[in-house]
Structure 1
Amino acid sequence: MSLPPTMRAITISGYGSPDVLTESTLPTPTLSNSDTSRLQSAPRRHGCRRLAPDPNAVLGIDYAGTVVEVGSAVKGIKVGDRVYGKTAGIKGFGTYAEYVKVSTVADVVVKRPEGVSAQQAAGVGVCALTAYVGLVTYGGLSLKVEENKGKEVLVNGASGGVGLFAVQIAKILGAKVVAVASGKNKDFVTKTLGADEFVDYTVKPLKDQLTTNNQFDVFYDAVGMDEGKNWDLAQTILKPGGLFAASAPASHGPVSVGALVGMVGTIAWRAISSSRKYKFITSLPVDQFPNVAKWIEEGKVKLFTTVELPLSDVKKAHELSASGRTVGKIVLIP
């Protein structure tokens, strides 16, 4: 297949509001002699909230699409395969583009099951793996269902991109799930995702609704960026030795040296001052994804895309994401 020499992509001119995002024309990625374990796909993609490493980088980590070229050493993937996954990092060239080059070694590259659309698959990689790492990799739940009998998991932000996966994974692994979200999303969280109990955070503060001491084995904060109130609540409702896992570290204001120092100090203090374990997701190892992919293929994990926007509407997509009010995933389509 002959690829066009250039492609549409979204670049970032600096840090700031969505206004720094610009549609640009860039050279189409090509395979070199050293790219023997890489492939190209023409993807649809979604980006969870992540920072670009450098100005003028192409944003985006998740993708879904069709393979149009493979390296000579690639095994199990061929031209024409429908794939999805996530890159190991942006490295200047993310997935907000018509074409992307990914590695079958360093990135997540999984064949898309029948019945799963590209739009659905494009929102899986980062958020599903974030949920899995927080629940399983960090030791809150075991992959052996029988070992999770009687365990209870609280998922804060259950209707969001990470939370919807956390609820489903915890249920697959046999735990009881109490889900926190806005009351308008109750049916989605309980009837569709399968949460056992529901807490509406808009009614009154969580500390006034969750009052049972030592109730939970895991407190998964899929909202993240809390200023301490959820961690303080965990000291009461989380069992000693229980796991508090967050999709992002405690917030200390806008990005700055002072905020970074404050974050490090908070992490250190939480590590030594409580009998509860504190973890936030610092990395997403690609070797942890196969279990999630298997559950998706088996239909145990349901996929949801609620907003589909053309690539040119990337600013609107980021504004929606920043609002924290969307249910499920936001996907950009080239």
Structure 2
Amino acid sequence: MLSYRVISFDKAPKLQDLETPAPRSGEVRIRTAAAAVNFSDLLLLKGRYQDTPPLPFTPGMELAGTIEACGPDVSQEMKNKRVAVYSGQGGFAEQAIAPANRCLILPDNLSFTDAAGLQVAWGTSHIALTQRARLQPGETLVVLGASGGVGLSAVTLGKILGARVIAVARGETKLEAARNAGADITIDSETDDIRDAVIAAGRADVVYDAVGGAQAEAAFRACNPGARFLLIGFASGDLPTFKPNHTLVKNIDLIGVNWSAYWKFAPQKVRESGAQILQWAAERKISANVNHHFTLKDTDKALTLLKERKSTGKIVITPQPTEV
């Protein structure tokens, strides 16, 4: 099977032809139909992600496909099921090994491409906004990095939950994507003063920060008393600096969100969240926002598009394009 392998953190990954792996206890083997690209995959390539596996490995944290083999203690009834799964690695290959207990059965009318692009982005936003921030109808939600897969999901989910959504992104093309996802107000991070623009719009009750750096600091200074600031990621490459006394005086909560960790300490919650998301997608209430498609041989190009922040929505690799 073809697999995009990381051999060294100092050298570029390469496609390799490997033997078909056999699932072990608690595992299944999936014929990969689609795998989504995430910012965390870029960190994996450099060994900077908190859950980086030992070398060599295949990146690709979330995928969808058909189960073709089950481990010795896994029910054979799972064989041939169409599933989505957060495997943590292995998605950028024709076949992948994944934990059986993380597999979510797909609704019949949901495509592999959409299913692959839903889990991390929508799962993160759903857990962040409903369980961590407890976003309420009528509150103002500010989404930084609102044009990416995670950001667009936060914009749409914010509207579903009844919030007024302010989307921050760079350039008119990305702002238009945020408006199409439901944003009430848009702010151009290239030309607008984020702090002043958010204050003019009534300040923030919840900030969804997938960017970090100066944008996060500007949004923090535009928070209402009692606001909740969600730390989702740091796509800018810079960690934000918050003054603790400002956090204290304004009663602002700084809330970390590590969606993948829920599989370890609250797996039932993330399974329930995932099932809800897949059902919403099947009912066309939400979209995976997949706007970029690449073959396995073009994985380098897919990762470069994300690294250069030129994507809008999700990027998906299709090792088995005929099945999508």
Aligned partners of 1:172 and 1:300 also within 8 Å: no
Shift of 1:216: 1.9
Aligned partners of 2:213 and 2:241 also within 8 Å: no
Aligned residue in 1 for 2:219:
233
Aligned partners of 2:167 and 2:187 also within 8 Å: yes
Aligned residue in 2 for 1:40:
29
Aligned partners of 1:250 and 1:266 also within 8 Å: no
- Runs of 4+ in structure 1 off by over 3 angstroms are 71-77, 249-253, 263-274
Shift of 1:80: 2.2
1:58 equivalent in alignment to 2:48? no
Q: Where in structure 2 are there 5+ consecutive unaligned residues?
A: 45-51, 264-268, 320-324
Once the two structures are superposed, residues 218-252 of structure 1 have per-residue CA deviations (whole angstroms, 9 ceiling, x without a partner) of: 11123x2x2244234323x2222211113215977
Q: Distance in 2 between matches of 1:98 and 1:118?
A: 14
Aligned partners of 2:166 and 2:184 also within 8 Å: yes
Query: Which has more helix, going by share of residues?
Result: 2
Aligned residue in 1 for 2:256:
280
Shift of 1:113: 2.5
**Pairing of 1:21-36 with structure 2 (within 5 A):** 21-32=13-24, 35=25
Aligned residue in 2 for 1:188:
177
Residue 319 of structure 1, aligned match among 301, 304, 318: 304
Residue 98 of structure 1, aligned match among 79, 94, 98: 94
Aligned partners of 2:144 and 2:216 also within 8 Å: no
Aligned partners of 2:118 and 2:277 also within 8 Å: no
Shift of 1:187: 3.5
Aligned partners of 1:67 and 1:78 also within 8 Å: yes
Between 113-122 and 317-326, the greater mean CA deviation after superposition? 113-122
1:246 equivalent in alignment to 2:251? no
Between 323-332 and 64-73, the greater mean CA deviation after superposition? 64-73
Q: Distance in 2 between matches of 1:173 and 1:95?
A: 32
**Matched-pair identity in %:** 25
Q: TM-score scaled to structure 1, two decimals?
A: 0.79
Once the two structures are superposed, residues 72-117 of structure 1 have per-residue CA deviations (whole angstroms, 9 ceiling, x without a partner) of: 6546963222211312x33xxx211111122232x3x222233332
**Pairing of 1:101-112 with structure 2 (within 5 A):** 101-105=97-101, 107=102, 109-112=103-106
Aligned AA (2:154): A
Q: Distance in 2 between matches of 1:189 and 1:295?
A: 19
Aligned partners of 1:270 and 1:278 also within 8 Å: no
What SS class does the counterpart of residue 173 from structure 2 fall into?
helix
Aligned partners of 1:214 and 1:240 also within 8 Å: no
1:268–1:59 Cα change, 3 Å = farther
1:160–1:252 Cα change, 3 Å = closer
Q: Distance in 2 between matches of 1:116 and 1:250?
A: 29
**Pairing of 1:1-334 with structure 2 (within 5 A):** 7-15=1-9, 20-32=12-24, 35=25, 37-43=26-32, 44-50=34-40, 51-52=43-44, 53=52, 54-71=54-71, 74=74, 78-87=78-87, 89-90=88-89, 94-105=90-101, 107=102, 109-141=103-135, 148-181=136-169, 182-190=171-179, 192-212=180-200, 215-222=203-210, 224=211, 226-235=212-221, 237-249=222-234, 275-284=251-260, 285-286=262-263, 287-288=269-270, 289-334=274-319
Aligned partners of 1:140 and 1:217 also within 8 Å: no
1:229–1:158 Cα change, 3 Å = closer
1:132–1:267 Cα change, 3 Å = farther
1:290–1:272 Cα change, 3 Å = farther
1:206–1:97 Cα change, 3 Å = same
Q: Distance in 2 between matches of 1:273 and 1:13?
A: 49
Q: TM-score scaled to structure 2, two decimals?
A: 0.81
What SS class does the counterpart of residue 69 from structure 2 fall into?
strand
Q: How many residues align?
A: 298
Aligned AA (1:98): E
Aligned partners of 2:115 and 2:278 also within 8 Å: no
RMSD: 2.8
Shift of 1:161: 1.1
What SS class does the counterpart of residue 84 from structure 2 fall into?
strand
Q: Distance in 1 between matches of 2:259 and 2:182?
A: 28
Q: Distance in 1 between matches of 2:161 and 2:225?
A: 21
Shift of 1:170: 1.3
Aligned AA (2:275): P
